[in-house]
Structure 1
């Protein structure tokens, strides 16, 4: 199952029909606790938005299987630094497939699972129940553990928006109290308003550093009907080990032709190495120009929990034009 998604909004909605939550800067995940067909104790399976199994990467969340025998939770995996989520620190955990390596990282910098929805309990699906009903049931479970919690919700969205800005949190998600849960749907019943213009883009090529064969910048875009729509190149944030790791990921994806629709400016074509448009990354930018091009973009990190088809061009461009 893929999670329900929020639509971008230019403002926090008002009215008693809306409730508001903190927008966490982490990795969206569904936590499925169930009893194996062969019997035995309940087990936990963690899956990303693209349904990739990442259970082994987060051993500190295994204890969720001991709380209830059967449930399906929706939430955000975050790594807190000084009480504030750090996406860059969390990115180190995305790729981990070794149980030993995951245990070492979990001991050094454990994650927290911020649970905000309950989709199944004891075999009973709750998708068609209202948000308000699901939330009431979730709160009765009293899920409070060493590495998981159910954050509070708020009636005053504008006050929460101000508070999250002051506390350097990502923003606010507003949800219609009477809305059902629609897996995989980007719904107007859920609205998001981030403070920062962080967006997901697809990598389509790279450029070397001046006078060096090392990766210096990447070409990025969003899916379009005839290929990627070019948004420019991103070099800030790719120095050192970050760029080296990305270069290793891109090396087997090399292709001859540009994956971008239309002809790119000469300064972006000359010296470029094109790659299959399959890797997704998060970048920050001040805005997007009319061309469109990212204005002063910087690299935040790879998004192995997303595929190119998960990048919504309208979402990206609308978010940047609001900046």
Structure 2
């Protein structure tokens, strides 16, 4: 590949819907951020963290089926639908696989959709310096919609789309400035996200048991001093019985004598400490005054470095 991976532009969080004539809103899909790179030497899929995921999604290798261009970089999100609603847990069943046989089987078991919302490079030329409305026009010219690949629609009525996203229990919306250039590696208010469901990636520093099986994970985030701060425990969510059995088996090989958290945990009694190597995506209702998560729900294990799970994420 001649094309070098880039760090994608990120939206900042907002609690207030911004207003303005040059703003549009798009649905925020609960999936995996993915950039597709294609040139004369081949095709690669690289996620937001810079990890290669080309093998995990072989159905996206036939780029001619969904993009009329000799070379390009597309930015979007890979999702898996359950009853018409994106499921992060399901898409992680694809994203976490490493063995070819498992990958081929899951292609049929967990179909995905690539929701494309931007284009960074087209036919030998970077287009990141063009305003968003021009990049959207270019994307419309080259993208070939299908059940596998779709363009993310844009809407001028931000409050209405926000309300619709809540009604359909979607993750939220992203508000974008139509005149904004694509800031590689940037993160500012030209793109803002308003979430209906709060989530974060947390480090697992301990477990509790019931009848010999792990029934809850003790969660933490790193502060500015690099200390792991306990933020709560979760035993509900999308994990199946088979997942808890696997966790029980693997946790037995990760035991620690001392608590990895810098602060006391509310689940101190009966807790078993483990090396803080696992990272899980957790949905939650809100932060409590005591600095813990209210009603946390485990969505999936994610391939993220534990040290990237910070309190200010």
Shared fold, TM over 0.5: yes
Task: Report the counterpart of residue 3 of structure 1 in structure 2.
Answer: 8
SS in 2 for 1:255: coil
Q: Which moved more, 1:74-83 or 1:122-131?
A: 122-131
Which structure 1 residue ranges, 5 or more long, are not aligned? 37-42, 316-323
SS in 2 for 1:55: coil
TM-score, normalized by length of structure 2?
Answer: 0.89
1:289 aligns with 2:294: no
Counterparts in 2 of 1:65 and 1:215: CA distance versus 1, 3 Å: farther
Task: Report the counterpart of residue 233 of structure 1 in structure 2.
Answer: 233
Task: Report the counterpart of residue 174 of structure 1 in structure 2.
Answer: 175
1:1-323 to structure 2, matched below 5 A, reads: 1-36=6-41, 43-64=42-63, 67=67, 68-209=69-210, 212-224=211-223, 225-237=225-237, 238=239, 240-248=241-249, 250-265=251-266, 268-304=267-303, 306-315=304-313
- CA distance in 2 between partners of 1:274 and 1:168 (Å): 35
Counterparts in 2 of 1:182 and 1:244: CA distance versus 1, 3 Å: farther
Contact 1:29 1:77 in 2 (8 A): yes
Contact 1:60 1:110 in 2 (8 A): no
Deviation at residue 134 of structure 1 after TM alignment? 1.6
- 1:72-130 CA-partner distances (Å, limit 9, x unpaired): 11100001123221222212112212233222211233100000010111221222222
TM-score, normalized by length of structure 1?
Answer: 0.87
Contact 1:280 1:303 in 2 (8 A): yes
* Structure with the higher fraction of residues in helix conformation: 1
Deviation at residue 157 of structure 1 after TM alignment? 0.6
- 1:160-188 CA-partner distances (Å, limit 9, x unpaired): 01111222222110011222222333322
Deviation at residue 251 of structure 1 after TM alignment? 4.8
Counterparts in 2 of 1:182 and 1:203: CA distance versus 1, 3 Å: farther
Deviation at residue 139 of structure 1 after TM alignment? 1.3
Which structure 2 residue ranges, 5 or more long, are not aligned? 1-5
Task: Report the counterpart of residue 3 of structure 2 in structure 1.
Answer: none
Deviation at residue 6 of structure 1 after TM alignment? 1.2
- CA distance in 2 between partners of 1:189 and 1:258 (Å): 42
- CA distance in 2 between partners of 1:272 and 1:60 (Å): 43
Counterparts in 2 of 1:213 and 1:165: CA distance versus 1, 3 Å: same
Counterparts in 2 of 1:253 and 1:128: CA distance versus 1, 3 Å: farther
Contact 1:281 1:300 in 2 (8 A): yes
Contact 1:50 1:307 in 2 (8 A): no
SS in 2 for 1:56: coil
Contact 1:226 1:261 in 2 (8 A): no
Counterparts in 2 of 1:247 and 1:72: CA distance versus 1, 3 Å: farther
Contact 2:281 2:300 in 1 (8 A): yes
